[in-house]
Amino acid sequence: MPDRPYTPLPQFKILGQPVHLATDYTSWLIDRLQQGIGTHVVTMNAEIVIQASHDPELANIIGNADLVTPDGSGIIMALRLHGVEQPRYAGIDLGADLIRLAAKPEHNYSVFFYGGKPEIVDRSAQKWQTELPNLNIVGIEHGYIDSQQQTQLLHQIQTTQPKIILVALGMPRQEIWIRDNFHLCPQAIWIGVGGSFDVWSGSKNRAPEYIRNLDLEWMYRIAQEPSRWRRALALPQFAVLAVAERIWGKQQLAPK
């Protein structure tokens, strides 16, 4: 058992969507894992907030998530408008940190990779297995499976009971899938990792650190994938709405 008991994290709402505040998300997650408390993690960015404003199902999932982390620079900007200082924690970094913790001898947590194209998820898992030979990967499945294979996948997850389940199906599909299947492995950390498998597999490059430090990673991704420009339209919309919220109605910091 952990030295300190589980305590809920404070949260702050941005355009109606909660973001949990912490200086060390991974320790909080490991504490829950050690206590057998399952966790659905949502990594929040501006695009997801705008999407949730038009999608009640997604908004409900986010509102009921056990942990919502500040993934995007837009979220950090909105928090600062209200005087809340919180470092950005990209979903790809959180996923990587959890994998590294899982491989530590004192933890030895099992991990499941699900989503992405067949060659992508395989190379992603192999990358981590090579880097961390002790990593206990109990399952690898791509995201292009039929209903029969989906049934087999769910049975495998229920049978192996992995401690960390990484799901790369894209938003909101991955969040809906986690919500619908969380009961199969109720003591695990379930986290949607979006395009992380693409980067881990080497099929795509992540923005250099200096670009990430300038909060311009979103621009780098558009340069790599011009087809994302329509999705990027959510960014100025979010900025305008976040400023308007600050002017006309400050959100209150409160525990979940």
Measure the CA–CA gap between 21 and 9, rounded to whole angstroms.
Answer: 6
At 10 the pLDDT is 95
Residue ranges covered by each domain of the chain: 19-201
Whole-model pTM: value is 0.88
Closest alpha carbon to 206 in 215, 196, 193: 196
> Scanning the structure block, which residue is given the tokens 């495998």?
156
At 4 the pLDDT is 45
Closest alpha carbon to 17 in 74, 94, 98, 85: 74
> Scanning the structure block, which residue is given the tokens 């791509």?
142
CA 213 to chain centre: 19
Structure tokens at 13: 């709402």
Cβ atoms of 98 and 110 within 8 Å: the answer is: no
Phi (first) and psi of residue 32, to 5 degrees = -65, -40
3-state secondary structure of 145: coil
Closest alpha carbon to 115 in 33, 44, 36, 201: 201
Measure the CA–CA gap between 238 and 197, rounded to whole angstroms.
Answer: 27
Mean pLDDT by 10 residues, the chain (256 residues): 63 95 95 96 95 95 97 92 94 97 96 97 98 98 97 98 97 96 98 95 71 55 56 76 83 43
Give me the architecture of the 19-201 domain, per CATH. 3-Layer(aba) Sandwich (3.40)
Measure the CA–CA gap between 194 and 200, rounded to whole angstroms.
Answer: 12
> Scanning the structure block, which residue is given the tokens 């999932």?
61
